[in-house]
Structure 1
Amino acid sequence: MQTSNILAKIEAPLFREGIPDFRVGDTVRVHYRIVEGEKERIQVFQGVVLKRHRAGVRSTFTVRKVSFTVGVERMFLLHSPRIDKVEIVSRGVVRRSRLFYLRNLAGKAARVRDAKD
């Protein structure tokens, strides 16, 4: 048996259902479960999706927001059990698969154009 078939069997039960179909450039709100000692709380991280890495269960996405004039980027595992939910706030129109150029922009220049429904 090939290793790819073995990995597919191991990863099959780890896939999560109900993840919305978001793309690079969309503004998303990620509800992430934080464990501090014995307490558990949900932290919301809202920002623009800079990139997506599609690799089955190991898929990731990076979200960037500006908090008090400091850019904050966070990478999330898409199928992580710690992600409570992902909400799409708005759809963005971009022509790139990686939006790393937003790191060098500030203010209104760092906005992503919204999709018109």
Structure 2
Amino acid sequence: MNLISQLEAEEISRLNKEIPVFAPGDTVIVNVNVVEGDRKRVQAYEGVVIAKRNRGLNSAFTVRKISSGEGVERTFQTYSPLIASIEIKRRGDVRRAKLYYLRDRSGKSARIREKLPARVNKQITTSAPVKQKPQSQEETAE
């Protein structure tokens, strides 16, 4: 590990940000601190992650959403102080690292399947069901 990557790792730990694990295809809500004049507010930006760039402190991700019929993409620096929080709304099931093909699609073709939670491997019993003996007249009389 060279000196620069060591300094970046120290800086990331010093920032102490809670960044959830997400991947392209996931629908996320990014809460961004916005300063307008002397006012400061938090703006929620919800969309699908179409790209993720892992470069230590310079990591970034791109979120795409459809706003009033027009596609809008915004790139966020992962460790930026402007990001208040990142919340995962839905996991997407995709087989690509970059989802740039969504730019050419609209409507139902731009939808992404939801990733289902991992199935728990249950032990399947192969034994036959146990039959109960019919009760005799003496046992029912008691």
1:84 is matched with which residue?
84
> Separation in 2 of the partners of 1:36 and 1:81?
16
In the TM superposition, 1:1-117 aligns within 5 A as: 4-6=2-4, 8-9=6-7, 12-14=10-12, 15-117=15-117
Q: Which deviations, in whole Å up to 9, do the C-alpha atoms of 1:56-98 show, x marking residues without a partner?
A: 0100000000011100000000001110000000000000000
TM-superposed CA distance for 1:7, in Å, is: 5.5
2:130 is matched with which residue?
none
> Separation in 1 of the partners of 2:110 and 2:28?
16
Using structure 1 for the length normalisation, give the TM-score: 0.91
Q: Which deviations, in whole Å up to 9, do the C-alpha atoms of 1:10-61 show, x marking residues without a partner?
A: 6622444311000010000000001112210111000000000000010000
> Separation in 1 of the partners of 2:32 and 2:49?
15
Query: Which of 1 and 2 has higher RCO (CA within 8 Å, sep 6+)?
Result: 1
CA RMSD of aligned residues (A): 1.6
Q: How many residues align?
A: 115
Evaluate the alpha carbon distance shift between residue 55 and residue 16 of structure 1 in structure 2; reply closer, same or farther with a 3 A threshold. Answer: farther
Structure 2 counterpart of 1:13, one-letter code: E
Percent of aligned positions that are identical: 43
TM-superposed CA distance for 1:9, in Å, is: 2.0
- Mark the structure with the bigger radius of gyration: 2
Q: Which has the higher strand share?
A: 1
> Separation in 2 of the partners of 1:73 and 1:29?
13
Structure 1 residue runs without a partner (length 5+): none
Tell me, yes or no, if the aligned pair for 2:50 and 2:64 is still in contact at 8 Å: yes
